[in-house]
Amino acid sequence: MDGYPLAQKGEAGRALGMATVSSTVGGIFSVIILVFFAPILAKLAYEFGQPEYFALAIFGLTMLASIGEGSPIKNLIAAAFGILISTIGKDFMTSIDRFTYGINELSVGIGFIPVVVGLFAISEMLTQSTLLHQVFKRVALKAVKLPSKEDYKKTWKTILRSSGIGSFIGVLPAEGGTVASLIGYSEAKRFSKNPEEFGKGSIEGIAGAEAANNAATGGAMVPTLALGIPGSATTAVILTGLIIHGVRPGPDLFREQPDFLYGIFGAMLIANILFFIFGFFGAKIFARITLVPNKILWPMIFTVSVCGTYSLSQSILDVWIMLFFGVLGFFMRRFGFSVVPVIIGLILGELVEGTLRQSLVIFDGNWLMFFTRPIVVTFFILSFIALIFPLLKKKK
């Protein structure tokens, strides 16, 4: 949301450099958290049941009121639309098809990638097509310029705050980097002295989202290793690999195989350091893509978008979905709606619906039981604050 506006200003190198530094700090911070606090954090994660995950997902959605270029109400409408999209396909509890209209391919639901490519890439191409008469000048020296000392002074508090947020969110199974980056970005905006710059090229916005996103990767390893519960889709694959090799993740792992564990910690630390070296010093090279003329760049992007979307499941329907959401995203932008909440709603929709229905089964249909759980009440209060804060701020 802020990297691209910076690139439009000719400061792609600055954006990429800050993303690299923030990601590295977040990643190393999460490894430190993993080394020293894994058993403690694992016990905390164990306190989270389906009601707690539902409350956390609601909290993540209410954060959208203050994110994106749209008004708080428009952002929440867009998020609700994203949740609606997530309900397409088979009902996970009854196996009944919903909103498929006889199209068999829709039984598995609408894929995340076609929607993202459509809303971001295709809608941006359509938007750019309305600006063909404008001439953009790109200054090579400015485009490859890396962040300055002032940028680091401005963002160090944001990076540390988001690293803590990301590590905590990553510890919670099934949450992962998306929710972490969302909350990290929202909190960066809340604490910023210049919140009006967010969405228009704020260096703090990049730092907040990227630090939280990478911090969640180390956090996600906590429940994976300490409880044997995958903290994300990636750690689910890692967990499977560990089991295949005869390693049994769980509380006893820290006592029985400490050498193996510290080998993993060391590998994660080295990976973050190498990422910094390649990412930071390669930013000047990567930033030069913004110097490619649009008449060459956009046809290439369209071709890659179509081929990439089709290759996921070899389905032409995915391509049509991508094009549909591209047109939809174009008109959403025209009428002041942010496309970001749609994506977040789609991601969190399954979690919101699934945890709500499972919680109601646990509570025998009595929804008042939600308020008997302290963690749930805490997240509901935070959700209310997140909803009311932007409205009061706007009125003020």
Report pLDDT digits (tens) over 194-206.
888 888 888 898 9
pLDDT over 60 (residue 228): yes
Least confident of 93-97, 188-192, 256-260: 256-260
Of the candidates 222, 262, 218, 264, which has an alpha carbon nearest to the alpha carbon of residue 25? 218
pLDDT over 70 (residue 42): no
Reported as type and span, the H/E element at residue 89 is strand 89-90
The more confident residue out of 378 and 284 is 378
pLDDT over 70 (residue 249): yes
Average pLDDT, the chain: 83
Report pLDDT digits (tens) over 321-367.
999 999 999 999 889 888 888 887 887 888 889 899 999 999 998 99
Of the candidates 33, 384, 6, which has an alpha carbon nearest to the alpha carbon of residue 217? 33
Band of residue 103 on the pLDDT scale cut at 50, 70, 90: confident
* High-pLDDT (> 90) share of the chain, %: 21
Q: Which residues pair with 98 in a beta bridge?
A: 89
Band of residue 176 on the pLDDT scale cut at 50, 70, 90: low
DSSP 111: -
Please count the other Cβ atoms lying within 10 Å of the Cβ belonging to residue 306. Answer: 18
DSSP code per residue over 255-290: HH-HHHHHHHHHHHHHHHHHHHHHHHHHHHHHGGGG
Band of residue 381 on the pLDDT scale cut at 50, 70, 90: very high
Cα→Cα distances 228→41, 233, 240, 392, Å: 13, 13, 10, 43
Band of residue 114 on the pLDDT scale cut at 50, 70, 90: very high
Cα→Cα distances 123→68, 95, 128, Å: 16, 34, 9
Of the candidates 43, 35, 40, 37, which has an alpha carbon nearest to the alpha carbon of residue 263? 35
Decide if 291 contacts 143 (C-beta within 8 A).
yes
Cα→Cα distances 332→261, 326, 391, Å: 48, 10, 22
Paired tokens of 162: 């988001």
Interval 158-185 mean pLDDT: 81
d(CA 131, CA 149): 35
Interval 134-161 mean pLDDT: 74
In the chain, alpha helices (H): 3-8, 12-46, 50-62, 72-86, 112-116, 123-129, 140-143, 149-171, 176-191, 203-226, 233-244, 253-256, 258-286, 294-313, 316-334, 340-362, 374-395
d(CA 270, CA 148): 25
Interval 165-175 mean pLDDT: 75
Please count the other Cβ atoms lying within 10 Å of the Cβ belonging to residue 298. Answer: 16
Predicted confidence at residue 377, as pLDDT, reads 93
Least confident of 137-141, 309-313, 368-372: 137-141
Predicted confidence at residue 218, as pLDDT, reads 79
Predicted confidence at residue 370, as pLDDT, reads 93
* Amino acid, single-letter form, for residue 81: F
Sequence ranges of the domains in the chain: 3-395
